[in-house]
Amino acid sequence: MSWARAVKHRTRTRLPVLWLFTDAARLPDPLSAIARLPRGMTGIVFRHDGAPNRLALAMQVARLCRRRRLALVIAADPRLAWRLKAGLHLRGGSRPGFVRPPRGLVTASVHDPAEYRRALRAGARLCFLSPAFATQSHPDAKPLGAIRWASLSRHGPRETAYALGGITGQTMKRLARQCRGAGAIDALHDGIKQ
């Protein structure tokens, strides 16, 4: 959390610098983790793809985020995002087809320069460059590492470059000052359990 506080102070951004990505397998019940996240620094990317209780859980998450004043974006489901008055998270920088624009913040996960540019054209205000490091979520994906992550980050405005994948306090230090924030599952969930 000290890294996040330093980034928040240095950049003076109003956007969260830490994002908890929900995951049906690794974080089946995200509500207790969300309830302990620090206000003003954190947001939620709600995924829980394929979970049988996805709608009910999304509604609970949205209520909790409103009550705690945490940013919320819904991954790749514009109808659900609209219904919950939440932002929208784009996968691969691609905006799914929909008529109404999202009501909130647009974020994206990107893996290469083309996806990064596509996400920015689709209105993403922050982009998670992924996978920054080896990650349990995508064990077969080749991690960018600090040098390739930094190179990819130069394909967009500096303030949009966030890291995703293999995030820990140590890996964030390797990304130095060019990284404006990070998304994680375990790093946030495990870090706030104590």
Task: Provide CB contacts within 8 A for 63, sequence distance 6+.
Answer: none
pLDDT at 96: 76
Return left, alpha or beta for 95; rule: phi > 0 is left, psi -120 to 50 is alpha, else beta.
Answer: beta
pTM, rounded to two decimals: 0.92
Q: Which pLDDT tens digit goes with each residue over 25-47?
A: 999 999 999 999 988 889 999 99
Q: Which tokens in the block code for residue 112?
A: 């290469």
Tell me which architecture the domain covering 2-193 has in CATH.
Answer: Alpha-Beta Barrel (3.20)
163, 175, 179, 92: which is closest to 131 by C-alpha? Answer: 163
Decide if 185 contacts 166 (C-beta within 8 A).
no
d(CA 30, CA 35): 9
d(CA 45, CA 167): 15
Q: Which pLDDT tens digit goes with each residue over 99-132?
A: 677 788 999 999 999 999 999 999 999 999 999 9
Residue-range domain boundaries for the chain: 2-193
Length of the chain: 194
H helix or E strand, kind and range, residue 16? none
Hunting for tokens 């019940």 — which residue is that? Answer: 29
**Taking 90 as the threshold, does the pLDDT of residue 98 lie above it?**
no
Per DSSP, the three-state class of 15 is: coil
86, 85, 7: which is closest to 40 by C-alpha? Answer: 7
